[in-house]
Structure 1
Amino acid sequence: MESNAIIQKLTQLEKLIIGTNKQIFTVDDVVNYTGFSKSYVYKLVHHNILPYSKPNNRTLFFTKTEIDEWLLQNKSKSISQIEKEAINYTNAVKK
């Protein structure tokens, strides 16, 4: 049983390594890249939340850069980043 688990993990790692080198993703690539379930990816597509292309009206394609941008949107700043911005703003107003 342990050898099956090891083979599954190796297969998963192989898919992840190959997938991160690609620029164009399929739904399965997005699932492997993000860790989202396939049904969640389809839900995001259905609600036009996740950017995608559908050139042949059948297959969904995603660009890695757009997936990365989408994943990193609504970023929350750390307290130190906010404090630094406040200091910079205060210094700029004083000038």
Structure 2
Amino acid sequence: MDNNLHSPQDRDDARVVKLDHHDSVRSHVREQVRSEVERLEHRIETLRLVRAPHAAIMISAYERMLDRKKGFLKNWGLRDGNGY
């Protein structure tokens, strides 16, 4: 018999998911996307105060990006008490 073969128990141990690593990844992604949402909201506020020629187009694009990022947070269950 070949000693290089692994037992079923060894294969099961190799598949164990370390939830603490998963939670840390989720937390990192949530914080990263929340930071991006805050920056986009700030850019939109700034553009609304400025009379730039293409501000409306830029605001529209940023709002679409904002909606997608908030949708991502919602779909993945990453929202917090602040609404994102």
- Answer whether TM exceeds 0.5 for this pair: no
Give the structure with the larger helix fraction: 2
Structure showing greater relative contact order (alpha-carbon pairs closer than 8 Å, 6 or more residues apart): 2
Give the structure with the larger strand fraction: 1
When Rg is computed on C-alpha atoms for both structures, the one with the higher figure is 2
TM-score (structure 1 length as normaliser): 0.28
